[in-house]
Amino acid sequence: MIARSAHPTADQAQAIDKASHLIEALPWLSRFHGRTVVVKYGGNAMISEELRVRFAESIVFLHYAGLRPVVVHGGGPQISAQLDLAGVESRFTAGLRVTTDEAMDIVRMVLTGQVNREIVGLVNQHGPFAVGMSGEDANLLVAERKSVEVDGETVDIGRVGEVTEVNPGAVAALIADGRIPVISSIARADDGGVYNVNADTAASALAVALDAGKLIMLTDVEGLFADYPANTELISRLTVEELKAVLPSLSSGMLPKMEACLRAVEGGVPQAHIIDGRVPHSLLLEVFTDQGVGTMVADQQLEAGLVTGNGHIPRPGRTSDTTTAVTNAGGAQ
């Protein structure tokens, strides 16, 4: 006869704790089952082999959990390193790389020829899932030349593209075939050439075109900070209206990121997130836990649509807005 104590042992308590973490994922598995999730993988979140391997695992986990992940990647630091080797200085205006014709060749080579290949290789260590594409393939992304305003003046920043058209057919076919598309942020230009598109912008355009349930962007900070860099208080949730109010005060890499979140949500994606790609498996924490991680931009009506669609309540840990912090978010860098 084996007698059991009424009090769980330390091992049993640990097992119960693990089980409660697993079951916490149930409503989120149900809500996002079969939904496309666009994941933007930023170059700053790829800085170690360990992080790249963990990222590939998270993507394959989403796939096996029944979601349909699509990866759109950047590679800014990797491009800068290659330009440096070629003796070309990297310059940014409003968070976008000033891209000469000469630099464009290097951007394309690094993004599609190196970074894309590496992500595909890491994902495919788990099975024949990832298929790499450049945004120029099958006219997936078509762009026109982008010019930006600085101090009221229009500035030409070279072969930087503004996405004007998305033809998601090839990606949709890969998803339907059970594959994981991995896409570099290069776009086709009307003059037959190509444009360098900020990867946040590319991911947002694709999320809208694919009717994604979520857009998640991995970067090298916890999320959007209020009054950065003086204050690094994390803003965990903000509405479209709150985001519009803080946008003019943002600078550096966060500007294209938050603009991309805004466009995604305004384009019908219920939730757009900025999360810390330096934390292994932060992607899984965002999708499958009640609290989530990072910053979420959400449209309440679209979220309600998700709720009525399958009967689940909104994420409880996300209902307290940091509205005061939001009003003074940003800060020039």
Ligand X SMILES: CC(=O)N[C@@H](CCC(=O)OP(=O)(O)O)C(=O)O
Q: Which residues bind ligand X (CB under 6 A)?
A: 42-44, 74-76, 79, 96-97, 107, 160, 185, 196, 198-199
Query: Distance between CA atoms of 149 and 14, rounded to whole angstroms?
Result: 56
Least Å distance between CB 243 and ligand ADP?
A: 12
Select the binding partner of residue 213 from ligand X, ligand ADP, none (C-beta < 5 to 8 A, by kind). Answer: none
Detail the DSSP E strand segments found in 227-283.
Answer: 233-234, 237-238, 271-276
Least Å distance between CB 295 and ligand ADP?
A: 8
Select the binding partner of residue 274 from ligand X, ligand ADP, none (C-beta < 5 to 8 A, by kind). Answer: none
Cα 232–chain centre separation: 21
- As a residue count, the chain comes to 333
Q: What is the total count of residues that contact ligand ADP (CB under 6 A)?
A: 20
Least Å distance between CB 120 and ligand ADP?
A: 19
Residue type, 188: R
Tell me whether residue 79 or residue 215 sits nearer to ligand X (CB atom): 79
Select the binding partner of residue 254 from ligand X, ligand ADP, none (C-beta < 5 to 8 A, by kind). Answer: ligand ADP
Query: Distance between CA atoms of 222 and 231, rounded to whole angstroms?
Result: 13
**Distances in whole angstroms, Cα of residue 1 to Cα of each of 6, 12, 270:** 16, 20, 56
Tell me whether residue 103 or residue 265 sits nearer to ligand X (CB atom): 103
Select the binding partner of residue 185 from ligand ADP, ligand X, none (C-beta < 5 to 8 A, by kind). Answer: ligand X
Peptide bond into 229 cis (omega under 30): yes
For the four alpha carbons of 103, 106, 112 and 118, in that order, the dihedral sign comes to negative
Least Å distance between CB 40 and ligand X?
A: 7
Question: Restricting to residues 171-230, which ones interact with ligand ADP according to CB under 6 A?
Answer: 219-221, 224-225, 228
Least Å distance between CB 65 and ligand X?
A: 25
Tell me whether residue 167 or residue 252 sits nearer to ligand ADP (CB atom): 252
Select the binding partner of residue 252 from ligand X, ligand ADP, none (C-beta < 5 to 8 A, by kind). Answer: ligand ADP
311 a known binding residue?
no
Is 260:200 a contact under the CB 8 Å cutoff? yes
End-to-end distance of the chain based on CA atoms, in angstroms?
70
Is 167:188 a contact under the CB 8 Å cutoff? no
Query: Should residue 294 be labelled a site residue for ligand ADP when binding is judged by CB under 6 A?
Result: no
Query: Should residue 252 be labelled a site residue for ligand ADP when binding is judged by CB under 6 A?
Result: yes
Cα 44–chain centre separation: 12
Select the binding partner of residue 328 from ligand ADP, ligand X, none (C-beta < 5 to 8 A, by kind). Answer: none
Query: Should residue 32 be labelled a site residue for ligand ADP when binding is judged by CB under 6 A?
Result: no
Radius of gyration of the chain (CA): 21
Query: Should residue 55 be labelled a site residue for ligand ADP when binding is judged by CB under 6 A?
Result: no
Cβ-count burial 223-234 (b if 16+ within 10 Å, e if not): bbbbbbeeeebb
Question: Restricting to residues 254-273, which ones interact with ligand ADP according to CB under 6 A?
Answer: 254
169 a known binding residue?
no
Query: Distance between CA atoms of 320 and 216, rounded to whole angstroms?
Result: 20
Tell me whether residue 297 or residue 306 sits nearer to ligand X (CB atom): 297
Least Å distance between CB 197 and ligand X?
A: 6
Residue showing tokens 């409880």: 316
Query: Distance between CA atoms of 28 and 32, rounded to whole angstroms?
Result: 6
Annotated binding site for substrate: 75-76, 97, 196
Q: Which residues sit at the interface with ligand ADP, rule CB under 6 A?
A: 42-45, 74, 76, 219-221, 224-225, 228, 250-254, 329-330, 333
